[in-house]
Structure 1
Amino acid sequence: MAAPTTGWFRCRIIFAIIGVIVGLSVFIVFATKFYNWNTALWGLLSGVGALITLIVHLLYRKGVWQTYSYRLRYYMLLGCFLQLAGVCGFVTYLSLGIVQKQVLTPYGNGFYLTCVWCFMTWKWGFSLFYYSRSYKQEFSDVYTIVAKEDSVYESDPLISD
């Protein structure tokens, strides 16, 4: 996979920063103004997912993943868990909203707005998984070539001491 262009990479970083700011804003507003703790906590979780995605992008920009690309699998796993949590939350809150015949309201336990933030959590989980996987694939070829060269020198009887 080719490295992202400078313009697209800046867009990735800007979108992740916006995701962190909006997630934290949703937490503050829905917790203090509307007292909707379900939406507030899912907004916070979405913001944390955006923050981790931002960290992955910034570490890619610094070149950390060239050396430690094997660590990206942990971020991929975290992305999978965020996706799973988002889907489970979405289905649960949608079902609760339908069963309890709720209307769209920000006050109290408005489950439909919580569905929106469960989806946003899924989106940031998918983003974290996707970008971690693409960065890992980008550097796995380099790591494989280096590993093969080292193994050739170790097994060559003419080079041994």
Structure 2
Amino acid sequence: MEKRCGYWLFCISSSLGVYFGITIFFLFTFFYHNNHAGTWGLLSAMFAGICLHLKLLSSNHRLSVWYSIGQLHALAAFGFICFCLSLGFTAWYIIYAAYHHIPMLPVGGSYYLAAVWSVMTAKWTLCTFFMSYRYARIIRYNTPFLIIQEDA
């Protein structure tokens, strides 16, 4: 069965999200000593990997083998909480840097770069929320009634 163009675009973008997040983690943490931006890069890579994992499982019709409906709802709730936290940290980084007149360069002390990567984390956490919720609904409504196993 052929995959649509949107499928390939999403897989490529989430793969690039994983790659760049891990690269940013090592580059900013160990070379530039900007631990804030490096940590957000690693978190962004983790959530991009979760999105890629969910998309690949869904396209291969293996999602219900790996996850139950309750686990997908828990993952959606976790994604939404992390989305709210990353948006809050984005606002805090921008306000803190503007209030204390912290410049963008040098990279090692830049809070603006940490804000950029917390926005990237917010993007992937929101994607995790929507995908998990959507796939939980797909499993619920496409599974025969007697086969559904609800986790409390």
Moved >4 Å (runs of 4+): none
Alpha-carbon distance, 1:149 to partner: 9.8
Alpha-carbon distance, 1:11 to partner: 1.6
The aligned residue for residue 39 of structure 2 is: 41
Q: Which residues of 2 match residues 12-161 of structure 1 at below 5 A?
A: 12-66=10-64, 68-143=68-143, 146-147=144-145
Alpha-carbon distance, 1:9 to partner: 1.4
Alpha-carbon distance, 1:126 to partner: 0.5
Kindly indicate whether residue 8 of structure 2 is the aligned counterpart of residue 10 of structure 1.
yes
Taking only the aligned residue pairs, the percentage that are identical comes to 23
Alpha-carbon distance, 1:148 to partner: 7.2
Report the TM-score when normalising by structure 1. Answer: 0.80
Q: Deviations over 1:81-114 (max 9, x none)?
A: 2202211110111121012111112432210111
CA contact 2:22–2:45 (8 Å) conserved in 1: yes
Amino acid in the other structure paired with 1:84: C
CA contact 1:37–1:109 (8 Å) conserved in 2: no
Report the TM-score when normalising by structure 2. Answer: 0.84
Tell which deviates more after alignment, 17-26 or 88-97.
88-97
Unmatched tracts of structure 1, length 5 or more:
151-161
Aligned residues: 144
Alpha-carbon distance, 1:137 to partner: 2.2
CA contact 1:23–1:47 (8 Å) conserved in 2: yes
Unmatched tracts of structure 2, length 5 or more:
none
Gap change, CA 1:106 and 1:56, over 3 Å in 2: farther
CA contact 1:53–1:127 (8 Å) conserved in 2: yes
How much is the aligned-residue C-alpha RMSD, in angstroms? 2.0
Choose 1 or 2 for highest CA Rg.
1
Amino acid in the other structure paired with 2:121: T
Q: Deviations over 1:34-60 (max 9, x none)?
A: 111111111111111111111111221
Alpha-carbon distance in structure 2 between the residues aligned to 1:75 and 1:106: 37
Match of 1:108, SS?
helix
